[in-house]
Chains A and B, each alone.
Chain A
Amino acid sequence: MPLLKIDDREIEVAAGTTVLDAALANDIEIPHYCYHPVLEIVGSCRMCMVEIEGMPKLQVSCNTRIGNALPDRKVDGMYDMVVSTKSDIVKRARENTLEFLLLNHPLDCPVCDQAGECFLQDYSFRYGRAHSRFEDEKRVRPAEDLGAGVVINQNRCIMCTRCVRFTREISGTGELFVQQRGNSTKISILEDKPLDNLLAGNVTDICPVGALLSKDYIHRNRIWNLDRQPSVCQECSVGCNVDIYHKNGKVFRTSARENLDVNGYFICDTGRYSYHDYEAVERVTSPMIRKDKKWQKISWDGAFKEIFEKLGRKKEGDSNNVAGIFSPFHTSEANFMFARLMQNVFKERAVIGTLPLPKEEEKKFPGGFRISGDCSPNWRGLTEVSSYIYEDIFNELKKQKIKLMYALDDGVNRELTQEWKDLLRNLDFLVVQTYAMTPLAERAHLLLPGAAPLEREGTLMNDSGRIQWLRPVIPLKGSSRPDWKIVMEVMNTVGKRELDYSHVNEVLAEMNERIPAYEGVTFFKLGESGMSINEEARES
């Protein structure tokens, strides 16, 4: 393998690696704009210039590959390449490049939403000169709407063409292109073909400056005011890693978090803007009981007592069985506790299953990005914690003439079929644990307020068997409680148990012992990137 010397460090790299890749992998900073790990290399920004011994001029490190030198051509008799990233000539080259990039830049950081995470700011501060020598009028061009909630501020663009390459290589739609040349160069769309794909929002993430902006976030807050919470997208079974930026219990934006085992560097727009859907629902924030067709608030103790009276006592007759509806939208912890409730408390009286699940067509993009057809984030985890489960419980309910039901609600606003409506109407007692007033919740006799998607804590397992840590972003609303806690309380009341888990990691510890797939899983080990159950199996 070629031996590379960068500054004072010796690094052995595989032949064919670029200098920039080798440097970044070893925590040596080389400033760059146009380079992106998954996009084609163009070497157009000229920011990553380095000095290489034996080459007459500076080279762009993103497009210079390291190979094996002939024995008599090795530097000092041992190095295949000697790179300097800190010499005076490199510093001068960076200064000059930045000065050129900033020639027409409006320097409107006070109104720019990229300020705070802008690479022009960072690199100017670290490598640039303090003032510009450009004396003429700056080029001023109007902002344009590119479609799909993306606007471009042409003045701030530095023509790195990351966005153009993204639409060509990752989304495969190719809406963006470079129009004109020289001083008039700009990123553009055809008039009749605006940006229109499910990955369009990513161009705002990969833009290193404030040129491409999401209309959703524009002028809404400053990035340094917001808290970043690493989280997992709950819109489909891929489980993309996301960062959720929030402040005072309000979410301001979602952006992709890098995880090469799951989503790479991107997320889809459905997940990006999903927090609006969670905000828009009508929340259930306190336990409510239906009396004379009206909702009446009751205390938690009152609610548990009601469940005990209706579900806990065995009555004469054939309608004694309790249907337990699981939800693949909930965390594995909530479903695990629910499985324990059904299997250990109701025992032979339990009939368990799920409601019909929303299914869509799976979408695949040329860059390898996938949007699953299964809209639930945790179907795989649900099947792990509860082995015998009816995917669509309808026929079983009809056959057994079930009169009692306890449901974990998906929280998805979907229309129930007429058959389901009839079945739900004929129930004697329906408990729904939910955060939103869904069609199912509207038909309940008792409502237990659970946590909303962004309030939940626990683990989710995506469809490739990767367990990921879902962290709470915003605090619980009203008197709602975490779902696993509600189920635990029901177990205590109905089953006369004395479970007392105070935190979700105690539930996870219990799962370690009972569920094979969850053996040895702790939140600490899951960290930000999660762990695959397949890896686990390989290790042991």
Chain B
Amino acid sequence: MATIVKSYEPTFWDRLYIPALVKGLMVTIRHIFKKKVTIQYPDEKHIPPEGYRGLHRLNKFDDGRIKCVACEMCAAACPSHCIHIVPDASPWEEGKERYPVRFDIDLLRCIYCGFCEMACPEEAIELTEIYDFADYTRESFLIDKDGLLEVYEMTKDENFYLREKENAA
């Protein structure tokens, strides 16, 4: 069924255009006195909120052992198949008997959906707040186990960008 759309017939007040102009300008003027939203990136970094899904990390226990047991639940849950794990028996006596020998993530394939951290039964893989890791080669976007543990060191204590800001100050 066709719908009949009635066109709006402008009144005399509308045809003056000046009231609308002033109305629009008022919005601009109001915002001049508000706090600025724009950030001077990259001199100034945006600080993502809690729960932001950025670069991955692999968590460690206090004694330095990796938390991951290479169960490959993250790889199974991953919709873009970007996680590749090679498991083996762990070298340590205490703790879990299995650990990842290799843990590679293709950051270009990853869609940062966070399914991996949801699937992880050991709370080993997490997405951090780091968002600026642009580079020039494809190879540099293949992050391995050491790289992921390094990200843990960078982000374990507090927000990465907050600390960067404090260090700069």
* Residues in chain A within 8 A of chain B (CB atoms): 108-111, 115, 143, 218-222, 224-225
Contact A111 B69, CB 8 Å, known A219-B87, A220-B87, A221-B87: yes
Tell me the bound Cα distance from A222 to B73 in angstroms.
9
Q: Say yes or no for B153: interface residue by CB 8 A criterion.
A: no
Interface majority SS (helix, strand, loop, mixed), chain A: loop
Residue pairs across A and B with Cβ atoms less than 8 A apart, 8 shown, are A110-B71, A110-B96, A111-B98, A219-B88, A220-B87, A222-B71, A225-B72, A225-B75
Is there contact, CB below 8 Å, between A111 and B88?
Answer: no
Total number of residue pairs linking A and B with CB closer than 8 Å: 34
Min Cβ gap B88→A in Å is 6
Query: What residue in chain B is nearest A107 (Cβ atoms)?
Result: B121
Give bound CA distance, A220 to B73, whole Å: 15
| B97 partner, pick from A109, A219, A222, beta carbons under 8 A | A219
Question: Does B89 contact A218, Cβ atoms closer than 8 Å?
Answer: yes
Whether A111 and B96, one on each chain, are in contact in the complex, defined by CB atoms closer than 8 angstroms, is yes
| Given A110-B73, A220-B87, A222-B76, 11 extra CB contacts under 8 A | A108-B96, A109-B71, A109-B121, A110-B71, A111-B69, A111-B71, A111-B98, A219-B87, A219-B88, A219-B89, A219-B98
Q: Which residues of B, 102-124, contact A by the 8 Å Cβ criterion?
A: 121-122
- Bound CA span A108–B70, Å: 12
Give the chain B neighbours of A218 by CB distance below 8 A.
Answer: 89
Residues of chain A contacted by B121 (CB below 8 angstroms) = 109-110
Residue of B nearest to A225 (CB): B72
A220 to B75, CA, bound (A): 15
Closest-CB distance, B118 to chain A (whole angstroms): 14
Specify the chain A residue showing the minimal Cβ separation from B90.
A219
Cα separation A224 to B89 with both chains bound (whole Å): 19
Contacting residues, chain A, for B76 (C-beta < 8 A): 222, 224
In the A-B complex, list the 6 residue pairs whose CB atoms are closest, starting with the nearest: A110-B71, A111-B98, A222-B72, A219-B89, A111-B69, A110-B121
- Chain B residues lying within 8 Å of A222, measured Cβ to Cβ, are 71-72, 76, 87
B34 smallest CB distance to A (angstroms):
50
| Residues of chain A with a CB closer than 8 A to B73's CB | 110
Tell me the complex Cα distance, A225–B86, Å: 12
Q: Which residues of B contact A219 (CB under 8 A)?
A: 70, 87-89, 97-98
Give CA–CA (A225, B71) in the complex, Å: 11
Instruction: Report the separation of the CA atoms of residues A219 and B97 in the bound assembly, to the nearest whole angstrom.
Output: 9
User: Which of A109, A111, A220, A224 has the most CB atoms of chain B within a 10 A radius of its CB?
Assistant: A111
Which of B60-102 touch A at CB < 8 Å?
69-73, 75-76, 87-89, 96-98
Chain A residues with Cβ below 8 Å from B122 are 110
Question: Cβ of A143: which chain B residues have Cβ within 8 Å of it?
Answer: 97
How far, in angstroms, from A148 to B143 measured CA to CA in the complex?
Answer: 39
- Which residues of A lie under 8 Å from residue B72 when comparing CB positions? 222, 225
State A115–B69 Cα separation when bound (angstroms).
13
In the complex, what's the smallest C-beta–C-beta distance from A7 to chain B, in angstroms?
A: 35
Which residue among A115, A218, A220, A222 has the maximum number of chain B CB atoms within 10 Å of its CB? A222
> What B residues does A221 contact at CB under 8 A?
87
Query: What are the residues of chain A within 8 A of B75 when measuring CB–CB?
Result: 225
Q: How far is the CA of A225 from the CA of B76 in the complex (A)?
A: 8
In the complex, A115 Cα to B121 Cα: how many Å?
13
Which residues of chain B are near A111, meaning CB under 8 Å?
A: 69, 71, 96-98
- The reply to whether A110 and B87 contact each other, CB–CB distance below 8 Å, is no
Contact with A along B120-143 (1 / 0, CB 8 A): 011000000000000000000000
Closest to A221 in B: B87
Closest partner residue, chain B, to A111 (CB atom): B98
**Complex: how many Å from CA A221 to CA B69?**
12
Residues of A within 8 A of B89 (CB): 218-219
Nearest chain B residue, comparing its CB with the CB of A113 = B98
Distance of A478 from chain B, by nearest CB (Å): 25
**Which residue of the partner chain A has the closest CB to B97?**
A111
C-alpha gap A204/B70 in the complex (Å)? 22
- Among residues of A, the one whose C-beta sits closest to the C-beta of B71 is A110
Q: Is the CB of B71 within 8 A of A115?
A: yes
> What are the residues of chain B within 8 A of A115 when measuring CB–CB?
71
Chain B residues numbered 40-54 whose CB sits less than 8 Å from any CB in chain A: none
Distance in Å: Cβ of A121 to nearest Cβ of chain B? 13
Quick one: closest B residue to A115, CB to CB? B71
Q: How far is the CA of A225 from the CA of B75 in the complex (A)?
A: 10
Q: Shortest beta-carbon distance, B106 to chain A, in Å? A: 16
Task: Pick the most buried of A109, A115, A219, A220: most chain B CB atoms within 10 A of its CB.
Answer: A219
CA distance A221 to B86 in the complex (A): 7
Residues of chain B within 8 A of A224, CB atoms compared = 76
- Cα distance, A225 to B73, chains bound together (Å): 11
For the complex formed, measure the closest distance between the CB of B59 and the CB atoms of chain A, giving whole angstroms: 14
A218 to B71, CA, bound (A): 12
Q: How far is the CB of A37 from chain B (nearest CB, A)?
A: 32
* Chain B residues, Cβ within 8 Å of A220: 87-88
Query: From residue B96, how far is it (CB to closest CB) to chain A in Å?
Result: 5
Question: Chain B nearest CB: distance from A222 CB in Å?
Answer: 5
* Bound Cα distance from A508 to B17, whole angstroms: 88
Task: Report the Cα distance A314→B168, complex, angstroms.
Answer: 90
Whole-angstrom CA separation of A111 from B75 in the bound complex: 15
Question: Distance (Å) between the CB of A311 and the closest chain B CB?
Answer: 48
Determine how close the nearest CB of chain A comes to the CB of B65; give it in whole angstroms: 14
Q: What is the bound-complex CA distance between A360 and B146, given in angstroms?
A: 51
Q: Which residues of B contact A108 (CB under 8 A)?
A: 96
> Shortest Cβ distance from B155 into chain A, in angstroms?
24
| Residues of chain A lying within 8 A (CB to CB) of residue B87 | 219-222
Cα distance, A108 to B73, chains bound together (Å):
13
In Å, the complex CA distance between A218 and B122 comes to 20
Chain A residues lying within 8 Å of B96, measured Cβ to Cβ, are: 108, 110-111
B103 vs chain A, min Cβ distance (A): 14
Shortest distance in angstroms between B120's beta carbon and chain A's nearest beta carbon?
9
**Residues on A with beta carbons closer than 8 Å to the beta carbon of B98:** 110-111, 219
The minimal Cβ–Cβ distance linking A154 to chain B, given in whole angstroms, is 13
What's the nearest-Cβ distance from chain B to residue A374, in Å? Answer: 38
Residue ID in chain A nearest B98 by CB atoms: A111
CA distance A110 to B76 in the complex (A): 12
Residue in chain A with minimal CB distance to B89:
A219
